[in-house]
Every structure is written in structure tokens, then in C-alpha cells.
Amino acid sequence: MTANRKKVAVLISGRGSNMEALIAAARAADYPAEIATVISNQPDAPGLTFARMAGIATVALDHKVYPTREAFEAALQASLDAAGVELIALAGFMRLMTPDFVNRWRDRMINIHPSLLPSFKGLHTHERALAAGVRVAGCTVHFVRAEMDAGPIIAQAAVAVLSGDTPSTLAARVLAAEHKLYPAALRLVTTAKVRIDAEKAIGFEDVNQTTVLFSPALSG
């Protein structure tokens, strides 16, 4: 088991399939992060059941019972402190954080988004990508900033858009890429393989690849 593994909280609002990918990755002896707790703002989130069955501590914080965002975030912070959390990984957490909370966790909170940011921020990314006629879609892991789906980009994965794609078929392929990308990006962050310079995430490893994705594929 890797010594001094970083304690990570995964925040979810639903099924948490990316949470499942992170939990699976963290089972490896050489993985540098420990999933210390899973927290949801939806008490009935299916992901909480999965996490409990995996032996991970869970917390349900129903945001509707708190009078303000600040009150909810105070309870959230207390849960993070109790678990000794060092990094936060958002995995389908459908709540916007206040600037104060984001700044408190600046460069220690990451998110995964189902598009190649900065394109298609927000919801309905696959519908919008298809409507725009893009030939390549994908997903992005980034450090969180106060603006929605903004912040230094840590890693991205590209997925070709197929001629017969629907939002659901495209979403399925992008999600499969997310499940590989998020654990890899969290590894980079927890091993300090990225630094922030002028609001860009700079890697300390050679990440250059010669592979080119053509969509549609070249013929001849």
C-alpha cells in the first residue's frame, strides 16, 4: 500500500458512476489516493449505498433543510474536517459552490465534465454537441473555480461523434472515457504532477502523444 495516501472526499448527487471508478482505482496498492468519505446532497442517492457496501464512510447532507448555501457548506466543511479530507473530487455533484467555499479549497477541488471544455459548459452537453455538428466530443477534468465548469484543465479525453449518434449513445461512450480519465487525473493531482501557472495546469511529465483522432476517419 502506498504510504501517505491523500485523503479524498467524493461528492455526488446521484448514482455516482465516476465515484465507482475512483473507488475501484483506489483499491490498487500503488494508487496515491484514499477515498476517505463519500458525501451527497441527496439522501437517497444510489451512490451512497454503493459506497457503504464498499466499506467507505458516507454522509448525507440534504441541502433542502439548510436555510442558505452558506449553512449547507458549513455542514459540508464540518464533514470534510471530520474525515481529514485533503482533496475533493466532484462526481456528478449538482450544486454550485459559493466563491468563499471554492476559494477555501482552491487547487484542492477537482471536477469532471462531459465535454471538451471550454466548449459546452453546463447541462445537456451531448444534445448541444450534436446540435452544433461537432465531430469530436469528450470529457474534461479540471480544477474548480467559482464560475461554473471553469478552471485549469488537468486532463481531457476525446471521443469521435458517429454519424448515427443520439445524445444517449454519445453519452455512453463519453462516460466510458470519463471512468478512465478521472482516476488518471486524480493520480496526477495527488502526486503533485501538475502545478498551476497563470491559471493553466502545467504537467511535470511528458504527456505528448503522436496519436491523432480523425472524425470522420480518413479514407484511402
Is 113 an annotated catalytic residue? yes
* Among 114, 104, 112, CA closest to 19: 112
Q: What is the DSSP string of 75-139?
A: HHHHHHHHTT--EEEESS---PPPHHHHHHTTTSEEEEESS-TTSS-SS-HHHHHHHHT-SEEEE
Burial 67-81 (b: 16+ CB within 10 A, else e): eeeeebbebbeebbe
What cell numbers appear for 135 in the block?
A: 465531430
Catalytic choice (113, 126, 142, 179): 113
Is the CB of residue 72 less than 8 Å from the CB of residue 106? no
Is the CB of residue 52 less than 8 Å from the CB of residue 58? yes
DSSP 62: -
Catalytic residue set: 113
